[in-house]
Structures are given as structure tokens and as C-alpha cells.
Amino acid sequence: MGQLAQQPAQAAKTALAAAVEAPQQYLTFTLGGEMFAVAILNVKEIIEYGSITEIPMMPTFIRGVINLRGAVVPVIDLSSRFGNKPTEVARRTCIVIIELSDGEASQDIGIMVDAVSEVLEIAKSEIEPPPGFGAKIRTDFISGMGKVNGKFVIILNVSKVLSIEEIALLSRMGDNEVQINEAGG
């Protein structure tokens, strides 16, 4: 009898170990010549770049908002967010709609990318921790470095890159700069 009780428990441990080692799917895209990836579970949809309504006095990395089936969705220029020059709109430029949730509420945010590449499966064993230095973007933005065909793909930590609290703080700092400039000049 004890032997039978151990078999389901062992099977559950084996299934859990297989799930942990199972490759995860990532949407890859290019940005300034670099290959990046986000977990496919965060991606709601991909749309072609269209008209964006600009919002005054926002940080430069917030391109504006789009109307997505009646919902107002902010669009972030990832290149600017990473401290680089703004993305130049080209034929393959698109907006990836990412769904962020904090447990009780969810928010859709669009990220502007040069081009979407493909969906890749990357095994956990093929993902290295983020580098401590030398990356062109903040290390807390990086979830890991995926090894794909002998090259690295930067896997983004979308909750850090698209942190609503940090974006709101940067927006308030922009408001303060405008008030200081108006008062001083």
C-alpha cells in the first residue's frame, strides 16, 4: 500500500521537474540592431505601426497613446527607454502589446520595436543570468541572456522595463522641470 502512495507523489515530482526544465516560448524582436525577447505569455498582440496621439509633457520614451478597440493604450519607445535615440519609423516598425498585471489589475502597454522576428523556444538551461556590467541597457531590465544558435538574445524583464510606478515618477519629474523652466524663464 505504501508503495502505491509513493508512485503518484513521485510522478508529480517528475512532472514538476519536467515543467521547470521545459523550454519557454519568447517573442524575439530587433531594436537598434540588437535581438531582444519577451516571454510570449506577456504578449497580447502585435499590430502594425499606425497613428499615435502624442501627449504633451511626457518623458521622451513615451511616444503617445493609441486607440486599441476603444481602450487607450500608452506606447513606449523601447530604444528611448533604454537611453538610446528614438526609433525611426520604418516599414517593419510595429507595436507589441504587452499585458502587465499586478495581481488584481492588468494594464496593456504598447512597445515600439524595429521589427518582430519570431517565436523561439529557449530551455532554462540555455539562459544565463544577466551580466553585471557591460550591457547597453540597465541590468535590472534584463531577465537573462538566452543562447540561441551560438548568439545571445537579451530576455527583458517586462515588469521592470514597463514599471508603471517608475514611468509615473519620470512623468512627474518632467512636470517639475516644466514648472521650473516656466518660473525661471
Q: State yes or no: pLDDT of 11 exceeds 60.
A: no
pLDDT beyond 80 at 163? no
- Asked if residues 114 and 90 have their Cβ atoms less than 8 Å apart, the reply is yes
Mean pLDDT across the chain: 79
C-alpha cell at 60: 521622451
Domain ranges of the chain: 25-180
Read off the pLDDT of residues 105-139 as tens digits, 9 standing for 90 and up.
778 899 999 999 999 999 999 998 887 765 567 77
> Residues 14-53: pLDDT tens digits?
544 444 566 799 999 999 888 999 999 989 999 999 889 9
Residue range 77-108, pLDDT digits in tens: 998 888 888 888 999 999 999 988 777 777 88
How far is Cα 117 from Cα 110, in angstroms, rounded to an integer?
A: 17
Q: For 141, list phi and psi in degrees, rounded to 5.
A: -80, -15
Asked if the model's pLDDT at residue 58 lies above 50, the reply is: yes
CATH dotted code for 25-180: 2.40.50.180
Residue 175 has pLDDT above 80, yes or no: no
Q: Where are the alpha helices (DSSP H) in the chain?
A: 2-21, 78-81, 158-161, 164-184
CA distance 159 to 137: 15
- Give the whole-angstrom CA distance, residue 162 versus residue 160: 5
Q: What is the DSSP letter of 97?
A: E
Sequence-distant (6+) residues with CB within 8 A of 43 are 27, 96, 97, 98, 99
